[in-house]
Structure 1
Amino acid sequence: MSAIADRLAPAAAVLPARQTSATAGLRLEMRLVSGPEWDRTIAEFDEVCQEQLHVFASARWPAVEQEPVIFLAEGEVVGGSLMMVQRLPLGIAKIAVSKWGPMLKDAASAGAADIRAGMIEALIGEYAVRRGLMLSVLPRASLAPGNPEYASLITRGFQRGSELGFPSRYIVNLRLSDGEQRKSFGQKWRYHLNKSEQAGLTFERAGAERIGEFDALYTAMTDRKKFTDHSAYETVHELMALEVEALRPELFFVRHEGEVVAGALIFKAGDRAVYLYGATNDQALPLRAGYFIHWNVIRWLRDNTTAKWYDLGGTDGFHGLHQFKKGMVGEAGIITPVPPVANYASRPLPFLFGTAAFWGRDVIHRSRAKLKGLLQPKARPDQAPISSDTSAP
């Protein structure tokens, strides 16, 4: 920690943010903090997300240097970013990555855009200019048309980089009454929900001590479907052991005649709850347990959290999953793409090495996906390609 702190020492001084007429004199202080302090601090952020948790990132990418930096204005925390510094093969260079960051503490504040711009300027100054790395920023999917956060990065000089093959995120509006929510659902989704409610299912919230039950259900499901799990499921136990209750995922189960048939793990902090993992047994499909559990999770999040939205994640290219999530998003929700990575370097070689590393990673991922599709035809994507064009409505 001390070595990282020494490297960041010049950036810990007061750093000027981009000046605008609305925020003349805005100055940000960039400060490195420990992993535990970082997780405690961002628990109150509007834009907090699982990928920005130190406990998650250190378990998911143990070989990557984690540098949690917070930003303060007049002594008050206003934002931050968990910076992941990745050494490239042969040690030829490093890249600094901010995934779903930098995050704002108060996304609705009048100066939010200027604070975000100031954080980007500070990150450029520290990682791209002073340390000579390629800086890669991946903003989260925006609820606003055109993804203003991504657009501002391109305007600032960042270059479009890697993008997901199926970038759409399916996001449910949580701030509706039961009647408004059901009316929003797609007609077929609402039909299946009605059927599930006639099947004798029950919904329950479970404590972290019951994560073993979910493990068993999840393992049995992956074995049954015979697919290789490339998710971050190995981080679940670290997340469930978090001392900060707001950051600990919620665990839910659905039962039929006393037997658990479905379960879900939900990240609930911030303004956007996220569906992390689901698991079902053989009975779940005919009972339509997936519809039942999501309906009750939506109602629980509305009534027990401050989250405004429920992010269902993507589809990995499966049309059936697209139809299911699209019906749940309905008329009141949003389907919006995750933008491409935005890359910036102040020198040619870091940009060249960093871009080549992303290209090589993308080639490997595409090759693995094609091989998986050949070996496991049921795992082959069947959804039409969707653009990550952030200018699309």
Structure 2
Amino acid sequence: MSAIVNRLAPANAVVPEQQPSAVAGLRLETRIVDGAEWDRTIAGFDEVCQEQLHVFATARWPSVKQEPMLFLADGQVVGGSLMMVQPLPLRIGHIAVSKWGPMLKDSSAPHAAALRDAMVEALIADYAERRGLMLSVLPRAALETDNSAYERLLARGFKRGSELGFPSRYIVRLGLSDAEQRKSLQQKWRYHLNKSEKAGLSFEHAGPERMGEFDRLYAAMSERKQFPDHSAYDTVPLLMALDIETLRPELFFVRHAGEVVAGALIFKAGDRAVYLYGATNDTALPLRAGYFMHWQIIRWLRDNTRAGWYDLGGTDGFHGLHQFKKGMVGEAGVITPVPPVANYAARPWAYLLGNGAFWARDAAYHIRRVVTGALRPKARPDQAPVVVEAGQP
């Protein structure tokens, strides 16, 4: 038995009765498990994502304590949240963070919203009330006009916290026929795709043993663009070594005249596939290899996964990337914002400490971005802030 802790959430870990989807008396058991069991269990979740993987989080944030918490109803797992208990400067306290959580195992289950509420209540009871920490929850971007998960957090007493400078996520709808998908694309994107299909390009689905090729392509691109890499690329070897096939990213290449000119790594588990990393060489741009590659990835995901959506990520403030992704999202997809962090504390001092830590972190990120932009003009964002209602392309 790999469970480290097995406890019943207190009686107040129930769905708030004022919520319209409430199920009277719903109570969830919480169980903290080890990392291996956690990753195996969430591999089948609808809402699983890279950031919630234990193997990823421990490498990405090594100084943070990871607590993989499962939620059970009547003995059956219904959801989970990888809780990150992060120390504050000078060890004056801690905050508990749920990034892209809590996750539902079955997002289409009856009373799914009530289950999510019950998971939040269990987190409040444990981290905010019992331990006295500030609890920070960041739900994933919603596909609908309103992010109901975020709105329900605010209704429960959470306060709006930090937010991204460019929060929009660009999400392609999968499951369409080739003709329907092409029709959805913006006209200019479709024009470039047509050109790429006449350029003699070929598409390859590769195994993990070919990661060396992608590493070389990625390193060369980074050197060429001179962008500082603050990504989690150093976690890729661990992800590619996973023995859980569902969670292992998929590797794709585009070749021209015998040479690999573009590549991509895609997280495919759950109901949303996610574009993790891409790389191109000098000859890819005139060949429009990026258009060709993403078109083929969309078709591969449709035919080989259960994902209904393909999340292209954000833009980091670059207008050209905005234009490229917006054209691919087209009419059938959505451009939707990641909501701000939602913070909750049962004790005023915990909220002041936690909110102050977020403020200091945001200030440090802003300074780093300004300095980087001054030293490397190519890395300076050129996209005006975009306010997008969820669900609006």
Q: Answer yes or no: same fold by TM over 0.5.
A: yes
| TM-score calculated relative to the size of structure 2 | 0.96
1:337 alignment partner AA: P
Partner residue in 1 for 2:123: 123
The SS at the match of 2:39 is helix
In the alignment, structure 1 segments of 5+ residues that lack a partner are none
Q: Is the 8 A contact 1:317 1:384 kept in 2?
A: yes
Letter in 2 for 1:273: A
SS where residue 373 of structure 1 aligns? helix
Instruction: Using the TM superposition, give the Cα deviation of residue 10 of structure 1 relative to its aligned residue in structure 2, in angstroms.
Output: 5.1
Match of residue 238 from structure 2 = 238
Alignment of 1:126-141 (within 5 A): 126-141=126-141
Number of residue pairs aligned between Structure 1 and Structure 2: 389
The residue that corresponds to 1:373 in the other structure is 373
1:208-223 aligned within 5 A: 208-223=208-223
| Secondary structure at the counterpart of residue 383 of structure 2 | coil
Residue matched to 1:172: 172
- Partner SS state of residue 31, structure 2: strand
Q: Deviations over 1:240-267 (max 9, x none)?
A: 0011000000000000011100000000
- Mapped partners of 2:258, 2:292: distance in 1: 16
Partner in structure 1 of residue 46 of structure 2: 46
Cα deviations across residues 219-239 of structure 1 (Å, max 9, x unaligned)? 011011112100000000000
> Which secondary structure does the structure 2 equivalent of 1:245 belong to?
coil
Residues 147 and 391 in structure 1, CA contact (< 8 A), matched pair in contact too: no
Say if 1:187 and 1:392 are closer, same or farther in 2 by CA, change over 3 A.
closer
Matched, 1:17 2:40: no
Does 2:55 correspond to 1:58? no
CA distance in 2 between counterparts of 1:224 and 1:37 reads: 41
Q: Is the 8 A contact 1:143 1:336 kept in 2?
A: yes
Question: How far apart are 1:25 and its partner, in Å?
Answer: 3.1
* Greater shift in the superposed pair: 377-386 or 295-304: 377-386
1:362 alignment partner AA: D
Q: Confirm or deny: 8 A CA contact 2:52 2:81 kept in the other structure.
A: yes
Taking the TM superposition and a 5 Å limit, the aligned residue runs for 1:355-366 are 355-366=355-366
Pair 1:206 & 2:206 matched: yes
The 3 A distance-change label for structure 1 pair 9 and 75 is closer
Letter in 1 for 2:316: D
Structure 2 CA distance for partners of 1:119 and 1:172, relative to 1, 3 Å: same
CA RMSD of aligned residues (A): 1.8
What percentage of aligned pairs have identical amino acids? 71
> 1:277 — aligned with what?
277
Secondary structure of the 2:30 match is: strand
Residue pair 1:340, 1:388 contacting (<8 A) in 2 also:
no
CA distances 1:266-290 after superposition (whole Å, capped 9, x unpaired): 0000000000000000000000000
* Residue aligned with 1:346, SS: coil
Shift of 1:386: 2.2
SS at match of 1:335: strand
Structure 2 counterpart of 1:346, one-letter code: A
Quote the offset at 1:23 in angstroms.
Answer: 1.9
User: What CA distance in whole angstroms lies between the structure 1 residues aligned with 2:388 and 2:149?
Assistant: 14
- In structure 2, C-alpha distance between the alignment counterparts of 1:161 and 1:388, rounded to whole Å: 19
Alignment partner, residue 162 of structure 1: 162
Residue 96 of structure 1: aligned partner: 96
* More divergent stretch after superposition (63-72 vs 221-230): 221-230
Q: SS where residue 386 of structure 2 aligns?
A: coil
Q: CA offsets per residue over residues 21-74 of structure 1, 9 Å max, x none?
A: 752232210000000100000000000000000000000001100000000101
- Distance (whole Å) between structure 1 residues aligned to residue 297 and residue 134 of structure 2: 40
**Could you tell me which amino acid in structure 2 is paired with residue 372 of structure 1?**
T
SS of the residue 1:246 aligns to: coil
Secondary structure of 2:300's aligned partner? helix
In 2, the alpha carbon distance for the partners of 1:15 and 1:104 equals 20
Instruction: Label 1:207 to 1:117 Cα distance change in 2 as closer, same or farther (>3 A).
Output: same
2:185 matched residue in structure 1: 185
The one-letter code sitting in structure 2 at the alignment partner of 1:90 is L
Cα distance in 1, alignment partners of residues 158 and 11 from structure 2: 24
Contact kept, 8 Å, 1:251 with 1:264, in 2: the verdict is yes
Distance 1:391 1:204 in 2: 32
Distance 2:215 2:369 in 1: 25
Q: Which has the higher helix share?
A: 1
Q: Which amino acid aligns with 1:196?
A: S
Q: SS in structure 2 opposite 1:310? A: strand
Q: Secondary structure at the match of 1:301?
A: helix
1:57 aligns to what SS in structure 2? helix
Answer whether contact 1:11 1:126 (CA < 8 A) is retained: no
**Alignment-mate amino acid for residue 108 of structure 1:** S
Note if contact 1:261-1:284 (Cα within 8 Å) is conserved in structure 2: yes
Structure 2 portions without partners, runs of 5+: none
Deviation at 1:144, TM superposition (A): 1.2
Does 1:294 find its partner at 2:291? Answer: no
What is aligned with 1:329? Answer: 329
The one-letter code sitting in structure 2 at the alignment partner of 1:197 is E
